[in-house]
Structure 1
Amino acid sequence: MSAPTSENDERRGGAEDLALETDLGWAIRMVSAAFSRVATESVSQLPGGPRGYLVLVALAGGEPPSQLALAKEVSLDRTVMTYLLDDLEAQGLITRRPDPRDRRARQVLITDAGRARLAQVRQGLSAAEAHLLADLSDEDAEDLRTLLSRVARTAQRESIAPEEADC
């Protein structure tokens, strides 16, 4: 049988459990704020800044999505997406065409100029990310990216309204 603990010991143990360094919300807020500071400058020349960057990254990865599918993938309102795509298209970074599978929908494609601009932006972001992740080994940084991506996918799935999930 263990020795009884005093009320002070119990409070101290509880306080240690509540340290900022172990609080997920605090950690996410600190990392998010720091990343926003270092990344915003890198993407500031793109139409829509960070949003424009996310659209180009999503488009660079594969099959051309419809505008609606792209809006869902990057978690943007469709109206906001339309204006953002207009701005990206005006700078020659993307193009839109009728979807051959559904002529009511339009596919969004990244242009060669969009790929080149994305590569430039990625260079600046890579330097910013390296600065932020400087205290991690390469393996730890990769693990962090993998884990955050998994959590982000969970968060994205849970942000879809039940009636949208049935589509």
Structure 2
Amino acid sequence: MRLTSADLEDQLRKVRDLEGRLTFQLAVLSRALDHQGADLLRDQPINLTAYRILNIVDTWGTISISELSRTCGIDRGQISRTADALAGQGLVRFQDDSDNRRKKLVALTDAGLAKLDEVRPRFLSRNRHLEEALGPEALDGLRLGLKRLSEVLED
């Protein structure tokens, strides 16, 4: 079947419409950031989910698998499997929760903190680069917009 100029024009309009949708743009950007983050860890024995877990555990000190899942926005099963792998590498340890025997808490080990200290500068550098690319005004606007979108999605 041969495409006419009208067909091509219609296809181009559809592509522009798709690429102009905010949700599409955010999804593409999120995937690009994930791919870049994975590249930053290419030489490491941890993946991006593991890096995120190490960061969150470092922030909270100890945290449950459920809380990690909510904080990361990642399925509880994937968080649990990744935390188990991190424990197998000696980067985190599990502790019992004195208030709830069924809940297991995740805490960093010294090796986990050392691994985080090794790789975190890469991500901080990327963050600085992105912030500098936006500049202060656009960065403030982006943060405000993201906050508003989060509020709308919580409703």
Normalising by the residue count of structure 1, what TM-score does the alignment of the two structures yield?
A: 0.65
1:78 aligns with 2:108: no
- Alpha carbons 2:37, 2:123 under 8 Å: kept: yes
Distance 1:153 1:124 in 2: 30
Please identify the structure whose Cα radius of gyration is greater.
1
Determine the C-alpha separation between the residues in 1 that align with 2:41 and 2:144. 23
Residues 142/46 of structure 1: CA separation in 2 closer, same or farther (3 Å cut):
farther
Matched, 1:65 2:72: no
Task: Give the 3-state SS of the residue equivalent to 1:92 in structure 2.
Answer: coil
Matched, 1:98 2:90: no
C-alpha distance in 1 between matches for 2:87 and 2:22? 39
In structure 1, the partner of 2:8 is none
> Could you give the per-residue CA deviations for residues 22-58 of structure 1, whole angstroms, max 9, x where no partner exists?
53134313422332232111134243x1211121121
Alignment partner of 1:32 is 2:14:
no
Which amino acid counterpart does residue 101 of structure 1 have in structure 2? Answer: D
Aligned to 1:164: none
SS for the counterpart of 1:65 is: strand
**Deviation of residue 153 (structure 1)?**
7.0
Superposed CA RMSD in Å reads 3.1
The answer (yes or no) to whether the contact 1:95–1:111 under 8 Å persists in 2 is: yes
Are 2:118 and 1:125 aligned?
A: no
| Offset of residue 122 of structure 1 | 1.9
Please give the residue correspondences for 1:38-57 in structure 2 after superposition, counting only pairs within 5 Å: 38-44=36-42, 45-47=44-46, 49-57=47-55
Q: 1:32 corresponds to which letter in structure 2? A: S
Name the % identity.
Answer: 26
Higher relative contact order (CA 8 A, sep 6+): 1
- For 1:148 and 1:154, locate their aligned partners in 2 and report how far apart those are by CA, in whole Å: 10
Q: Please give the alpha-carbon distance, in whole angstroms, between the structure 2 residues aligned to 1:63 and 1:146.
A: 29
Note the residue ranges of structure 2 that are not aligned, 5 or more in a row. 1-12
Q: May I ask how many residue pairs the two structures share in their alignment? A: 140
Alignment pair present for 1:112 and 2:110: yes
* Alpha-carbon contact 1:38-1:128 (below 8 Å) kept: no
Name 1:3's counterpart in structure 2. none
Is the Cα contact below 8 Å between 1:46 and 1:53 reproduced in 2?
A: no
Secondary structure of the 1:41 match is helix
Deviations 1:49-80 (A, max 9, x none): 12111211211112522222222322333332
Relative to the length of structure 2, the TM-score reads 0.69
